[in-house]
Structure 1
Amino acid sequence: MSTNRPPQVNVDAAGPSVADARRRRTILVAVCVALMAVIASVSGLNVAQPDMALAFDASQSTILWIINLYTLSLAALLLPLGALGDRWGRKPVLLAGLTVFGLANAVAGLAPTAEVMLAARFLSGVGAAMIMPVTLAVITSTFPERERGRAIGVWTGVAGGGGILGMFLSAALVDMASWRWLFVLPIVLVLVALVMALRSVPNSRDESEHTFDTVGALTSAVAVVGLILVLQEGPERGWTAPLTLLSLAAGLLAAVSFVRWELRRPAPLLDVRLFRERGLAAGSVALLVLFGVQAGIFVVLFPFLQAVLGWSGLLSTVALMPMALLMMVTSGLAPRVAERIGGRSTMAAGVLLGGAGLALLAAFVSVDGGYLSVLPGMLIMGIGMGLTMTPATEAITAALPRERQGVASALNDVTREFGTALGVALLGALLSSGYRDAIDSRLGSTPEDAAGPAREGIANALEAADQAGPYAQSLIRAAQESFVDGWQQAMWAGVAVMAALFFYVLTRGPQRTVVRGTVEAEAADSPVG
């Protein structure tokens, strides 16, 4: 019989607050390990596309669906399952999500066909949608107000840098073993998180007298699927393709229906009127832009490191680690900075640094400059993103009371997913168009059978160079220089977006971050009410 004492918990109407500092640290580690499993699975399979195509004898379209279906099901179900976590209890939903996620990854690792893999990836997304919002909700509902910001800082560091760490570990596993070993990492993380969560995470839930908002859940899911599908399929199929236009129409119609329904319902899934508040609006916009820019940078950086510099996938991932580590460190430091200068100033400083990093990436990148031409911009970008993400996340969670933290956390996560899809679509499109515009003038007398494929992209150009004979070196150089031109076009567009975000945060950002429903006296004493 166990002699472990149960966690010391101060229970109020808003939920439990764990009094024991050691248990709070264990809780933080448990939810961050669970989050790491989810984040690593978003990006991990990208390094194994050729291996999966061979294993399943599948087309590139099928492989992209295997990768994107996880993100799609995760994003679509975040709000509904975040709300159910508030109602059913955050601990049981976290444990159920970890179980579903772990089993789905085990099936994926053993999948004999592409169809089984697709089903496993969908179930992985369902499990991840149960885990991700609950991890942040557990922090905001169990940590005392004075420590909440620093705990959120650790969470945002894992959320921001975990994808790069996941890609590094995935690339190492693919190089040393097999792509199927990619699924061992999330399974191990899930087992660790399960053990720690069972022992340390207390339960909390919302005692609501209203029924669950089923219509809001369904319309939000359709809206998210439709709009993200547009961003995923538009660059591949074309922006005027039937599937793209149908997805856009369905997404917009569902989004309008969701807003109208939520405005009429007494207990909405998400009270859209809260977006009138500066903190929620500024935090959401900041995360949308930041994760869009981050995702867009990766779309540009990986081909630069691999196609321009000729590095392997593993070495290219290692090259991103300094940026990821700085992002994680500054995310943890951001709450202390915010305590001194305020949340709005911290966010603005981070956005300014992020924009400066992008400007350096645009101004100094060159074929001959190599990795050192992009490293300073990457480092400054990592610092800026780390400083911005934590106060932005805290501003979102502060806008909803503690009994609704599952919804607040899910909104935070949906914003990140939308930003990622938007950044990949738009910055990727700018990179491609810039490359195509630049390469024609550099092809010169290159034969058309090599010039034609080269116009499609740098990877096609490098492949065509093998058959270009004496024109091979000039073709490779033309493709590399044209890629840098496209890079600069995408990066300067990112600088413009970050400049707009900087002025928005300065004028509309939150003055300070206060978690609602935790310190009633603060609201009474506040001069702004």
Structure 2
Amino acid sequence: MSTNQPGQVSTEPSGIPGEGLPGARQRRTILIAVCVALMAVIASVSGLGVAQPDLAIAFGASQSTILWIINIYTLSLAALLLPLGALGDRIGRKPMLLTGLAVFGVASAAAGLAPSAAVMLAARLFSGVGAAMIMPITLAVITSTFPEEERGRAIGVWTGVAGGGGILGMFLSAALVDVASWRWLFVLPVALVVVAFPMTLRSVPNSREMSGRSFDTVGALTSVVAVVGLIFVLQEGPGRGWTAPATLLSLAIGVIAAGAFVAWELRRRDAALLDVRLFGDRSLTAGSVTLLAVFGVQAGIFVVLFPFLQAVLGWSGLLSTLALMPMAVLMMMASGLAPRLTARIGPRATMATGILLATVGLALMASFVSVDGGYLSVLPGMLAMGIGMGLSMTPSTEAITSSLPRERQGVASALNDVTREFGTALGVALLGALLSSGYRNAIDSRLADVPQGPADTAREGIVGALDAAHQAGPHAQTLIHAAQGSFVDGWRHAMWAGVAVMAALFLHVLARGPERPAHTPANAPEPADATAR
């Protein structure tokens, strides 16, 4: 029997006399359960992109509708992470995780059976809602149930799944599309939910914040509006145009809502959804900035790599995804190694080492990529990137979660996840735009002898150029070589921009990186009594 004071954490009994934390065997099961649940969410983020042509044919839908089917999942996920993470802290992380798994599983099954684009859009929206319940809670369960000496290793496994799971999900999705149908893409997340649900029900202890504070409804609503507005800009800006009315309106709404959120949270202080004053903590700031940049660069690399492998090298979607697996494997291995390195040299040195390796990887890809060099011209850079990202992600995640007290781990985990989502959207938008502009600037001088019709099509992008080559007659090979060479030039523009971003991040982490071990809580000690009545 125990009584929890406001601000403390309540957890269910672990079965170990005198201890509030689960035993070693149960902790392993907990880690497997939350990683399986996380894998379902991550795979659904990346998987559907490989089936765009199949979806367009099945539903007779426009490219804009297909992109919304893909993007609405990410939009709803990112928008609801922070309020649902905070709600999980209050009502209990286990019931929130179980509810999220149920919503996500049903919505994924509905998407797989969808008879129309409208039903698919609704199913993907609710999948995003379920994912927003799952993703922050999986990390919060780890940080609130694992003892301090094991927390770093567990977070390393979580970050490895979060970082490399997307590539694995793309590979499995591409395989399913090739051998079966796009509808089979949703078998994977449903199967993962079927595995994770009973494991969660049986093994994951409940924990929640025991607080008399009212829920910050205004903060939750303004955060949702801010995230929706800003993510919409990043998703739609490249297609609609950065100065289009819808883009500018969304940007204005997002910025105003973000300002209102910060002002309100400063006013609420002790009862805030997210105490924005915590960003004065160098661990929280360094971790957030690092994840923003690393996930942005990672997402931008995929924007560049897939057209290179498919349009330049002529590989299938399945083979192109398989080509990314070495980077994913090294990323996951480095994520597991990072806690040991952090224990020896500290989180700042570990983060800086990872960022430096990632910067070197980008520079290698920018320097040596070529049409004739093929896959081997980019492989060394990919491998360095994988190791670097793995080493930097784990201490960054731990720096964020350690900056908030244990009873607010749902919020800490949601902040970690929102940062990842914003980084991904930024990377796709900005590096994708640099690739496109570099391609267009380079191809004009190579099209002097090509007829106007095919030349105009080729200026829109490499995929259009390869299609237009069929109508270019004797100029077909000239057009293909022009498009491939121009793509490589655009690649270099994007990669050198990534190098500049990572170099600036490296200097920032050296100067302002976390000094203390990332697993030591910054704001509050562990509750002395964490056992439930």
Give the TM-score band, short-chain normalised: over 0.9
Instruction: Look up the match of 1:173.
Output: 176
What is the correspondence of 1:290-439 to structure 2 with a 5 Å cutoff? 290-439=294-443
Instruction: Look up the match of 2:120.
Output: 117
Measure, in 2, the Cα distance between the counterparts of 1:38 and 1:151.
18
The CA deviation at 1:208 is: 1.1
SS in 1 for 2:213: coil
Measure, in 2, the Cα distance between the counterparts of 1:177 and 1:292.
32
Aligned residue type for 1:228: I
CA contact (8 A) 2:56 2:63 kept: yes
The CA deviation at 1:310 is: 0.1
Cα RMSD over matched residues? 1.3
Instruction: Look up the match of 1:34.
Output: 37
Measure, in 2, the Cα distance between the counterparts of 1:196 and 1:10.
23
Cα distance per residue 1:42-98 (max 9 Å; x no partner): 010000000000000000000000000000000000000000000000000000000
Measure, in 2, the Cα distance between the counterparts of 1:17 and 1:477.
62
Aligned residue type for 1:135: T
The CA deviation at 1:17 is: 2.1
CA contact (8 A) 1:145 1:518 kept: no
1:153 to 138, 152, 156: 156
The CA deviation at 1:209 is: 0.7
Cα distance per residue 1:117-174 (max 9 Å; x no partner): 0000000000000000000000000000000000000000000000000000000000
> Judging changes above 3 Å, is the alpha-carbon distance between structure 1 residues 520 and 504 closer, same or farther for their aligned structure 2 residues?
farther
Measure, in 2, the Cα distance between the counterparts of 1:429 and 1:9.
55
**Aligned-residue identity in percent:** 78
Cα distance per residue 1:280-322 (max 9 Å; x no partner): 0000000000000000000000000000000000000000000
CA contact (8 A) 2:355 2:506 kept: yes
Aligned residue type for 2:15: Q
Cα distance per residue 1:346-379 (max 9 Å; x no partner): 0000000000000000000000000000000000
What is the correspondence of 1:13-92 to structure 2 with a 5 Å cutoff? 16-18=20-22, 20-92=23-95
Instruction: Look up the match of 2:507.
Output: 503
User: Which structure exhibits the higher relative contact order, with contacts defined as CA atoms closer than 8 Å and separated by 6 or more residues?
Assistant: 2
Q: Which runs of 5+ in 1 are unaligned?
A: 522-529
Measure, in 2, the Cα distance between the counterparts of 1:433 and 1:400.
42
1:258 counterpart = 2:264 = no
2:521 to 515, 520, 524: 515
- Count how many residue pairs are aligned between Structure 1 and Structure 2: 513
Aligned residue type for 2:325: M
The CA deviation at 1:334 is: 0.1
Instruction: Look up the match of 1:8.
Output: 15
Aligned residue type for 2:349: S
2:167 to 164, 169, 174: 164
Instruction: Look up the match of 1:198.
Output: 201
CA contact (8 A) 1:7 1:200 kept: no
2:231 to 228, 232, 249: 228
Aligned residue type for 1:88: I
Cα distance per residue 1:196-223 (max 9 Å; x no partner): 1111000000011111000000000000
The CA deviation at 1:519 is: 5.0
CA contact (8 A) 2:13 2:205 kept: no
Aligned residue type for 1:99: A
CA contact (8 A) 1:40 1:163 kept: yes
Measure, in 2, the Cα distance between the counterparts of 1:191 and 1:408.
27
CA contact (8 A) 1:354 1:383 kept: yes
Q: Which runs of 5+ in 2 are unaligned?
A: 1-11, 529-533
Runs of 4+ in 1 over 2 A off after TM superposition: 5-12, 515-521
Measure, in 1, the Cα distance between the counterparts of 2:208 and 2:92.
4
Measure, in 2, the Cα distance between the counterparts of 1:368 and 1:419.
32
Measure, in 2, the Cα distance between the counterparts of 1:11 and 1:410.
31
Cα distance per residue 1:419-462 (max 9 Å; x no partner): 00000000000000000000011112100011000000000000
Instruction: Look up the match of 2:531.
Output: none
Cα distance per residue 1:12-32 (max 9 Å; x no partner): 9xxx422x1111000000000
1:283 counterpart = 2:287 = yes
CA contact (8 A) 2:406 2:526 kept: no
Aligned residue type for 2:435: L
Measure, in 1, the Cα distance between the counterparts of 2:21 and 2:527.
15
Measure, in 2, the Cα distance between the counterparts of 1:208 and 1:10.
26
CA contact (8 A) 1:141 1:405 kept: yes
> Judging changes above 3 Å, is the alpha-carbon distance between structure 1 residues 10 and 93 closer, same or farther for their aligned structure 2 residues?
farther
What is the correspondence of 1:213-224 to structure 2 with a 5 Å cutoff? 213-224=216-227
Q: Name the TM-score, length of structure 1 as normaliser.
A: 0.96
Aligned residue type for 2:250: S
Cα distance per residue 1:246-270 (max 9 Å; x no partner): 1000000000000000001131000
The CA deviation at 1:339 is: 0.2
Aligned residue type for 1:515: P
Measure, in 1, the Cα distance between the counterparts of 2:18 and 2:57.
55
Measure, in 2, the Cα distance between the counterparts of 1:9 and 1:355.
46
